[in-house]
Amino acid sequence: MTAAASMLVVLCLALLIDLALGDPPNRYHPVAWMGSLIMAMRRLAVRESRRPWSKLAWGVGLVAAGLAISIAAGCLMETGLARLPKIAGWLGEALALKMTFSLRGLAQAAVRVARALDAGDLAGARGWLYQHLVSRDSSQLDESAVAAAAVESVAENASDSVVAPLFYYALTGLPGALAYRFVNTADALVGYRDRRHEWLGWPAARLDDLLNLAPARLTAILMMLAAPLVGGSPTRGWGIWRRDARLTASPNAGHPMSVAAGVLGIELEKAGHYRLGSGLAVATPRDISRSVRLLYATVGCLVALITLLAWVW
């Protein structure tokens, strides 16, 4: 069996493990370990650094150390697993790869928001949205704004939390997937734009932007391909993508989010920041469920694409 075919087997196994078992408790999760390391370095940097250049140096050191550890861990795991019988090696690598993405967790969080809205529990929907999907204040959002925020999160995290780590795994194996997950986690924890963390988080934020350039646009394309599978409009997705992708402050988030708005035919607005799909319908709880179906269909198209490329190779 070729290396490309083995990679495809591992990727499919990892997706099956995720769908069947979800995420392990934090104490067993490598991403939680990454977060603990990042937070420890952040506390030390904030305490020891006073000037911007010093904070920037700490930020560079944090990213460099995390990348070195992640890549080394990936290489060691691949080397060790290669010595096992083929099936055991595939299963071990799939378990390691699964730790870099969360398809089932993302879908379940979104569905929980939709169910709370359907039950008339707006406060519960706001709380679940804030705890599991967005970082913005959700306490004043009405039902349509909560639904739109959930759809936005599903679309953005389709790239950040699923497509991107699988993309880097397909290109570079476990070292690439783990390195991507470290950078994305570091950006989430220290890539803030407040005065305290601006310089400390700058390296992680800029590297995360760079690493997501290709996955975000690939996710947008895959969403358009998946649109007919969920009753969406690929042509409208294309039109909204071309018109609105650059309205967000992030150079990447606007791509999958604008396509999702067009495919589903709804507006996605973050008050005071952007409005994607202006003129389309207002989001409803049903659209959250539709976005989850679009998420699964998008991942299915990704697997089909990787299968095609593995066959060609």
82-102 per-position pLDDT tens digit: 999 999 999 999 999 999 999
Task: Report d(CA 273, CA 297) in Å as an integer.
Answer: 29
| pLDDT at residue 243 tops 90 | yes
* Residues facing 281 on adjacent strands: 266
* Mean pLDDT for the stretch of residues 110-139: 93
| pLDDT at residue 152 tops 70 | yes
* Mean pLDDT for the stretch of residues 212-221: 98
Q: What's this model's pTM, rounded to 2 decimal places?
A: 0.93
| pLDDT at residue 4 tops 70 | yes
Mean pLDDT of the chain: 92
pLDDT digits (tens, 9 = 90+) for 181-216: 999 999 988 876 666 667 788 899 999 999 999 999
Q: Which residue has the higher pLDDT, 52 or 150?
A: 150
| pLDDT at residue 289 tops 80 | yes
Residue among 163, 147, 170 at smallest CA distance from 286 = 147
